[in-house]
Structure 1
Amino acid sequence: MGREKRIEYEGAIYHVISKTVSSENAFMEEKDYRHFIKLTCDAFSKYQAMLLSFALMKNHYHLLIKTEKANLSQIMHEINSKYAHYFNSAHIRKGHLFQDRYRSYLITNDEYFINAFVYINLNPLEAQLVEQLEDYKWCSCRYFEDKDNAPRCLNFKEIHNLSGIEIARITQFIMSKVSESKKYGREIKEHNSEENIKKIREISAEIQNKYGSIVKNRELKYLLVYALCSKKFKLVDISFALKMSYATIRRIKNKVEKRMTSDAMVTEWLSEIGKVNAFDYQNDHKVPGTL
């Protein structure tokens, strides 16, 4: 079975992590870092993307990317394949350099953007490579106070637009968010928003194939939303996957919770909804009625 396609659309923002095979070093000397940045900026220019943050570590790298077109896969293929070719030639090496499947986290709200932004820029400090953010050459954190020497594809205007923070104050802001960065780091090890959105859409499709359209059946839509919430999917991921506002998802969740205290039928229908295969239960028979 082939891999599912990644979620790609115009204007999407991603936190991308690409790791080397067997934790090999991807950067051996200064010219390697410089060449990687050049290739990245070339790819961003070619595919009309914006670089919002980056951190190049020894055996992996982080990019915060905004794509103007639905083309993340093309961008990443361009960067990784061209850099691997360069690196193998420069260091007399053969074979794959980066793992075949890079990790991409779809940024779905402002808080998620800030957390990813801070996390990436704190990477060298957290890894104890430097004592001051601005001392690490191969991370965007160095250039918030040295814009003249920044990579040409690092888009300060868009960073300001998305963060709401003046560039001159960003380093101070990043250092004030160390605890949030640690929490984000733990979360991304357990949570992939992109994969969760795909799973939510799979569940929604199976439920609608069995019970009918959630567009035409408001009660079914309410049950689906609550069932997803009960499975610990994040509200923001449900919102994105079902193309409903965050506030609407929260309102539906609260409404169904209140109905459950006085209407046993709600619990019964939720049990039926929870039996579809996509929820990892066995299919059954009944069609949900009304709330």
Structure 2
Amino acid sequence: KEKYNIGIFCYCLMDNHYHLLIRTPLGNLTKTMHYLNASYTNWVKAKQDMVGPVFQGRYKSILIEDESYLLTLSSYIHLNPLRADMVDKLEDYKYNSFNEYIDKLDYEIVDKDFILRKFENIEAYKDFIYEWYDENRGIDKEEIYGMNGLLGSKRFVEKIIKKIGEDKDKKKLEEYSNVNINPIKKEDIEKLMIKTFDIKKEKLYKKSYGNDYRNMFIYLLKKYTGMKLIEIGELFNIRYTSVSMKTKRFKEKSKSDKGLNKKKSKIEDVIKNNV
């Protein structure tokens, strides 16, 4: 970290590969990765008394737009051992920065405060990670690890493609931008809901029985913005734990209510087309 002035947010060492979520303010990713892989290779060879390469091929990297996507990738990275059926609980896997986040290990490797500041406490982050697993949310590796290596909004992708002189074809732009979470502001979703459903702003916040627009708004804020659960809770005068509960109930209801599901699909299409 000190040698190349990088920030390490997450890591996970698997049986035949590893994941890193890092920040390189000096733009020295190539030098950093070369040093890391070379150092580890030399250590393994000396310890195992072996010859030949340890790693196969070059590392794969993703350029991330901003911190709105850190939560997405921290979940993806930390859940690797669980999704690979290597453990029953993430707490049982010691080669993963998840245990540093929940204060079970203290290697002082990761800059965990940068992500944890989005949550009220450590338990809230832990719940967030397991919720991703329970809902089977994730990232399509083929779309990210393919020829593009970009994770961000269409505006961000278009800017990067223009800067590096890549093909700006609309179809490829869609491939670059095909991710599950689009970081947009609360005000954007608010305006889009009001316009799409021809309703007043008060309808989005009014607490009343059967007000699906309010629960839909909470669901959309949680899914598409980088807002903390506690921030969403304060917005609607509810506890942060109720945010996840209301989101879950809304999704369950939309599965059985065709009319509500149609509205949900409509507004999500509008949001994705306006990012």
**If the length of structure 2 is used for normalisation, what is the TM-score?**
0.54
Aligned-partner residue type, residue 4 of structure 2: Y
Q: Which amino acid aligns with 1:232?
A: E
Return the letter of the residue paired with 1:90. Answer: K
Structure 2 match to 1:232: 174
Post-superposition Cα deviations, 1:21-48, rounded to whole Å, max 9, x if no partner, equal xxxxxxxxxxxxxxxxxxxxxxx12111
Preserved CA contact (<8 Å) 2:12 2:77: yes
List runs of 5+ in structure 2 lacking aligned partners: 152-156, 186-275
CA distance in 2, matches of 1:87, 1:49: 24
Q: Pick from 102, 106, 118: which aligns with 2:59?
A: 102
State the SS of the aligned residue for 1:104.
Answer: coil
Aligned to 1:136: 93
Conserved? CA contact 1:119–1:185, under 8 Å? no
Partner of 1:172: 127
2:129 matches 1:146? no
Q: Is the 8 A contact 1:47 1:75 kept in 2?
A: yes
1:186–1:90: structure 2 CA closer, same or farther, 3 Å change rule? same
Does the 8 A contact of 1:118 with 1:177 survive in 2?
yes
Residue 232 of structure 1, CA deviation? 2.6
Task: Give 1:68 shift.
Answer: 2.9
Q: How far does the alpha carbon of each residue in 1:76-134 deviate from its partner, in whole angstroms, 9 at most, with x for none?
A: 11110011011111111112211341000111144532221101000010111110111
Q: Is contact 1:52–1:155 with CA below 8 Å preserved after alignment?
A: yes
Name stretches of at least 5 consecutive residues in structure 1 with no aligned partner: 1-43, 207-223, 238-245, 248-291
Distance 2:172 2:142 in 1: 22
Helix, strand or coil: the match of 1:176?
A: helix
1:143-179 alpha-carbon deviations (Å, 9 max, x no partner): 22225x3221211211224x45633321111011124
Aligned to 2:224: none
Confirm or deny that 1:60 pairs with 2:2: no
What is the RMSD of the two structures over their aligned residues, measured on CA atoms?
3.5
Where does residue 35 of structure 2 map in the other structure? 78
**Aligned residue runs from structure 1 range 255-266, under 5 A:** none
Structure (1 or 2) with the larger CA radius of gyration? 1
**Is residue 114 from structure 1 mapped to residue 75 from structure 2 by the alignment?**
no
Identity among equivalent pairs (%): 30
Contact 1:55–1:61 (Cα < 8 Å) also in 2: yes
TM-aligned CA distance change 1:191 to 1:134, over 3 Å: farther
**C-alpha displacement at 1:234, in angstroms?**
4.2
1:155 equivalent to 2:111? Answer yes
Q: Distance in 2 between matches of 1:108 and 1:171?
A: 24
- Is residue 88 from structure 1 mapped to residue 45 from structure 2 by the alignment? yes
Structure 1 residues 144-223: aligned runs within 5 Å: 144-146=101-103, 149-161=105-117, 163-164=118-119, 166-178=121-133, 179=135, 181-185=137-141, 187-190=143-146, 192-194=148-150, 200-201=161-162
- CA distance in 1 between counterparts of 2:97 and 2:8 reads 9
- How far did residue 191 of structure 1 move? 6.3
Distance, in Å, in 2 between the alignment partners of 1:170 and 1:229 is 36
Q: Which residue of 2 aligns with 1:45?
A: 2
What amino acid does structure 1 have at the position aligned with 2:43?
Y
Contact map agreement 2:5 2:25 (CA 8 A) in 1: yes
SS in 1 for 2:74: helix
Shift of 1:180: 5.6
Matched positions, count: 177
- 1:69 is displaced (CA, Å) by 1.7
Distance, in Å, in 2 between the alignment partners of 1:181 and 1:45 is 34
